[in-house]
Amino acid sequence: MQNLKQIRYQAVMRHLLFWLAYILYQCVNNGWEDKDVFAFKLDPQLVTSVPIAMLVTYLNLYVLMPLFYYPQKYLQYTIGMLGLILIAGLLPRFFAYAIWVPWDKIHDPAMYRMEKTDFWIPVRIFKNAAGNTPILLAAMLLKLMRNAFKQEKHLREVEQEKFTAEMGLLKAQINPHFFFNTLNSLYALTLKGSEQASKVVLRLSDLMHYMLYEASENKVLLQDEIKHLESYIGIEQMRFADRLELSFQYSGDIAGKMIAPLLLLPFVENAFKHGLAEHIGYITINLKVTGNRLFFKVENSYEPNTTGTKTGLGLKNVKRRLELTYPGNYTLLINKYNEIFEADLKLDL
């Protein structure tokens, strides 16, 4: 409710400032009188000229434009505008004839003797219309500019909401996918009666804490993401220790660098899932930071007859997240050759 009051207050203040500027202009313009001397003259006729200007302005803004301009009925709108301009010329002449000519007769006889007292004076009517047209058009232009700004702001908000919703969905898909694979690893260790099962539970607890309380942010420290990868790799090493050749190296200035959370994990998951499912193999992971550019490469062995039948959600999700989070600032190459699977990511942090 307070927010609505603030919006209304701001709208009222905008209108007041607009009309105060108009009155100030009229006072200065009336005082100038084609002389090179600055003067400020508060003309009594402002009592009628300002309400007339307000009338035609608001009729245009809140009647003609909603009825004809916004629905793109431009012919009807043009006719309506010509009618308003005619009103803007006739009304001041009417009040001049009915009020200000008699006023001058009493208070300014010299001016009264110089004035024409007829109502129908086409030149005066045209002059009044021409005088009110700029304020009419200026208010319309400001209204259109404000509408365009609000529409652009709304579109940005919609895009941001869409982005947030889609990113949330992708993260929600990543977490169950990750835990499904990790719990499979824990189950395999439990079946073997391995003493390392308790260590896996501890590492899994750390990973869950990371995902619940840190990975919900838009960006996290690259150091934390690397630590998270090491925890995951540690879990998988316990499972595949008897048939795994693993190399994980990182280098460069990683301090203070930020990255989208859980962005690198799917590449590592994919390597373990397809590279070591049923045979002895190797996985090589290299991460390097040069300036603000990240180079991340994962290479693993695979058997063509067992890989590719099911790609899973991981790589599909990470590709979409890269498109959303780093549009135009990354390159991703996926290659398969000679029973080797390779994912090569270059990313501007």
Over residues 192-226, the pLDDT tens digits come to: 777 777 777 877 787 777 777 676 677 888 998 89
Residue 277 has pLDDT above 60, yes or no: no
pLDDT > 70 in the chain, percent: 72
CATH code, residues 194-348 = 3.30.565.10
Cα angle 272, 277, 279; round to 5 = 110
Distance CA 158, CA 154 (A): 6
pLDDT digits (tens, 9 = 90+) for 301-313: 877 665 444 555 5
pLDDT digits (tens, 9 = 90+) for 232-271: 888 777 767 677 788 899 998 888 899 988 888 888 888 8
Q: Which of 46-50, 246-250, 272-276, 306-310: highest mean pLDDT?
A: 246-250
Radius of gyration in angstroms for the set of CA atoms belonging to the chain, rounded to a whole number? 37
Count of C-beta atoms within a 10 Å radius of residue 96:
22
Which pLDDT value is given to residue 309?
42
DSSP structure class, residue 264: S
What is the DSSP annotation of 297-337?
EEEEE--TTTSSS---SHHHHHHHHHHHHSTTSEEEEEEEE
Task: Give the contacts of 131 (CB within 8 A, at least 6 positions apart).
Answer: 92
**What residue ranges do the domains of the chain occupy?**
2-155, 194-348
Assessment of whether the complete model's pTM goes beyond 0.85: no
The single-letter code of the amino acid at 75 is L
In single-letter form, the type of residue at position 198 comes to: S
Is the pLDDT assigned to residue 95 strictly greater than 90? no
Q: Is 287 helix (H, G, I), strand (E, B) or coil?
A: strand
pLDDT per residue as tens digits for the range 122-152? 777 788 788 788 888 888 888 888 888 888 8
Per DSSP, what are the bridge partners of residue 102? none
- Is a pLDDT exceeding 80 seen at residue 184? no
Q: Which amino acid is at 275?
A: G
Return the C-alpha torsion angle 129, 131, 136, 142, nearest 10: 160
Give helix 265-275 / helix 314-325 axis angle, nearest 10°: 160
Which pair of tokens denotes residue 300?
A: 């693993």
Of 13-17, 72-76, 261-265, 298-302, where does mean pLDDT reach its minimum? 13-17
CB 254 within 8 A of CB 223: yes
pLDDT for 38 equals 54
By DSSP bridging, strand 340-348 and strand 330-337 are antiparallel
| Side-chain-side CA neighbours of residue 117 (13 Å) | 9
Q: Do residues 315 and 349 lie in contact, with contact meaning Cβ atoms separated by under 8 Å?
A: no
Pick the closest to residue 188 from 94, 309, 102, 277 (CA basis).
277
For 22-43, the pLDDT digits (tens) are: 777 666 565 455 555 555 556 6
Asked whether the predicted pLDDT for residue 285 surpasses 90, the reply is: yes
pLDDT at 1 over 50: no
